[in-house]
Amino acid sequence: AFERLKVLSFLVVETKSTPDFTNMPSLVELQFLDCFALTTIDESIGKLKNLTHLRIIRCRLLLKLPGSICQLHSLETLDLQGCFGLTSLPERLGELGSLKKLDLSWTSIKKVPCSLKNLHEMLMYGCQSLSRLPDSICRLSSLEMLGLKGCSQLCSVPEGLGYMKSLKKIDLSRTSIEVIPDSIGQLTDLVELSLCNSTGLDSLPDSICQLKLLKSLDLSGCLSLCSLPERLGDLEKLEEIILDNTIIEVLPDSVGQLKSLRLLSLQGCKFLKALPISMRHLISIQQLKMSGTGLMTSENDFPHLAAVNIIELTSSSSELLGLCNQSYKALEILHLKDAIIEELPDCVGKMENLKELRLECEMLKELPNQIEGYLENLTQLVVKSMHIKALPDCIGLLKQLSRLSLKCENLKALPNSIGSLKQMRKLKLNCVNLEALPNSIGHLKKLAEFEVWSNSLEALPDSIGSLKCVWRLKLKCPNLEILPDYIGELESLEQFEVDSHRLKYLPNSIGSLTRIWFLILNCTNLEDLPNSMERLQSLGSLHLHSDNFTAPPDFIGRLENLVTFSFNSKKLKYLDAAIFESLGRLLHLSLSGCKNLEVLIAASIRQTDFARLSSLKYLDLKDCEGREYLPQLPSSLHSLDASGCTNLRKISDISNLKTLYKLCLGGCKLLEDVPGLENISSNLEELELPGPCDFTGCCHFNHDFKNKVFK
């Protein structure tokens, strides 16, 4: 029946084993994605002679591959990323002569088979159990990409690294490597080398300067790196070098020979005191990032750079004086971070092509009152200052401005002219003392994302209903007392978040927001929800926090697309039957913080009813201090957090939770047993149990239980 089948995919299928592949001889692609229960690959997979792509991704319980997989002589791609339980590969994997790409990222692989031959790409990101590479890996003469980022136990690479002549990209970021072998200079095709956050690396071999095709060198976060090779300038193709947060004190004079260099990032280089004069010859430089350095730059020794596009500076604005008029005109993005200035330097007015201006200057007191004639091309403005009290009316002249972000704690009002910013698409106001929004805010017809963070805002203008294009609205305003009826006219709204402890009611018009799929109501004094919310049939994620609710609203069960429900109320004592009858589609359920929740279901309901949530994957009962008993749980669970349930005494048998990989019971001091834990312990990736760190000595668990789990 399946003889012609070429592509077969299993997505989130809860099966322990694969089917027999004998009758599928034409398969070319086979993939298993997020099959969390999968433990066995059928031996018949070796009969798929035409298979070229095999992807087994995030199948956490898969512990090994069948030996027959080495018979797939047409296989070109083997992707096993996220198979956390996988610790080894068949040693004969090298018999796969057509294999070009092998991805072992985020597995528990401890060693790489010595037999590998013709690979072009080998990825092992996040393989934290991998401590060494075999010398045989140097025989992979066709390998072009070697990715070892996040292999935190890897302390070295083989001395013969230079034999891998085809390598174009090496990523050794976040490893424990301390020495780079001299042979790296033989990798004449290498284009990209990343060593970022390799904290044990204190120097580079001089041979690295032989990499004539190298375009990118990332050394950011190499906290021990104190110097660079003197002949660094020999890297004639180098386009970017990132040295952020190193302890480098000087740059070699030869850096001026890097004629192709476009990006030089020195952010956080606190020991760097000066730049070499030779930097004046960096004719291709476009991005210069120098925030957080120890530079004491003046007009005389700042490099005379002619084509800077992006520049990030720290300290006083005097550093800008080193740029020539031609540089001012070329500048497109300017970031003044922690600059000790009270007003914007005059030279900013010469930056006629400036598109993005970021002013993170806490001492800045005001923006210029006259901006007509310059900054006409500005599309993004970010201002962070604790001293700015008002914005100038002329801000309305920035006709191209599409993004405005203000973090100004002493700003109390916005000018009416803000309504003239017709191109505005994203507006973020993190101004804790902002008292009101002008009515003109409704003129921002193209506004798509709107965030307000204010402790002083009590109401919104009615004109907010004119923002027909807003799809995301966040109101983190603890003193907001009322939402206008016009809120229901936001016809494009998809994500809505309200955080207020004074808001008691929502307008009926909220039921008109039929496109909403994500809703957060963190309103502790909210007394009721309008029945009109039953019309929110697009709602997929609802987070409700109000301490006045004794039960979830009835309409919750009639939201047909709801998959995530978070409910927090101090008055909640139990859930009724309707919840279990109507929420069978839920994937995520959180009752975290419901301190008076005594039982998950009313006494009149059968204890098995909770297991009706047959799709539930994640259950969060953290800090439900009143609960004493946990009933039978749905077998679909992947994660259970009942930590902080200080009165929990008994849990139903959890042997059926075969896909559970996270179990948190920390702080459950009265709990004496976890029935069935010994049957699922091998599947768990994260286990948190009550008692002291040395759990085996925890006296309040009975002896039999400790023997079962810790044998």
Domain ranges within the chain, ordered by starting residue: 1-128, 589-711
pLDDT for residue 3: 83
Mean pLDDT of 570-577: 75
Query: Residue 415: which of 476, 483, 464, 367 has the closest Cα?
Result: 367
Q: How far apart are the first and last CA of the chain?
A: 48
Mean pLDDT of the region 272-299: 79
In this model, does residue 64 exceed pLDDT 50? yes
CATH number of 1-128: 3.80.10.10
Please provide residue 664's backbone torsions phi and psi, each rounded to the nearest 5 degrees.
-120, 115
pLDDT for the residue 530 = 94
Length of the chain: 711
pLDDT at 711: 37
Question: Please, are residues 623 and 595 in contact by the beta-carbon 8 Å criterion?
Answer: yes
pTM for the whole structure = 0.78
The confidence band for 14, taking pLDDT boundaries of 50, 70 and 90, is confident
Sign of the torsion angle spanned by Cα atoms 383, 385, 387, 389: positive
Place of tokens 């294999």: 99
Q: How would you classify the pairing of strands 216-218 and 240-242?
A: parallel
pLDDT of residue 321: 52
Q: What is the C-alpha to C-alpha distance for residues 503 and 409, in angstroms, rounded to an integer? A: 23
Closest CA to 406 of 429, 385, 389, 426: 429
What is residue 697's predicted lDDT score, i.e. its pLDDT?
40
Task: Kindly report, residue by residue over 334-369, the tens digit of the pLDDT.
Answer: 888 877 788 887 778 778 888 999 999 888 998 888
Provide the token pair at 144: 């072009």
**pLDDT the model gives residue 187:** 97
Least confident of 257-266, 486-495, 587-596, 604-613: 604-613
Residue whose pair of structure tokens reads 């099959």 in the numeric block: 35
Cα(564)–Cα(36) distance, rounded to whole angstroms? Answer: 20
Q: Beta 53-57 vs 29-33: how paired, if at all?
A: parallel
Mean pLDDT of the chain: 88
In percent, the amount of the chain with pLDDT more than 70 equals: 89
Listed ranges 57-61, 280-284, 570-574; the one with the highest mean pLDDT: 57-61
Tokens standing for residue 242: 């990132």
Yes or no: say if 234 and 209 are a contact pair by the CB < 8 Å rule: yes
Residue 646, amino acid: T
Higher-confidence position of 497 and 606: 497
Of 24, 30, 28, 26, give the one whose Cα is nearest residue 1: 24
Per-residue pLDDT tens for 650-706?
Answer: 899 999 998 898 999 988 888 888 899 888 877 777 888 775 433 444 434 455 545
Per-residue exposure over 240-272, b if at least 16 CB sit within 10 Å of its own CB, e if not: bbbbbbbebeebbebbbbbeebbbbbbbbbeeb
Q: Alpha helix locations (H) across 228-334? A: 325-330
Q: Kindly list the distances between the CA atom of residue 102 and the CA atoms of 64, 70, 93, 144, 370, in Å, as whole numbers in the listed order.
A: 16, 13, 11, 12, 60
Task: State pLDDT tens for residues 195-254.
Answer: 999 999 999 999 999 999 999 999 999 999 999 999 999 999 999 999 999 999 999 999
pLDDT tens figures, 585-611: 889 999 998 887 765 554 444 444 566
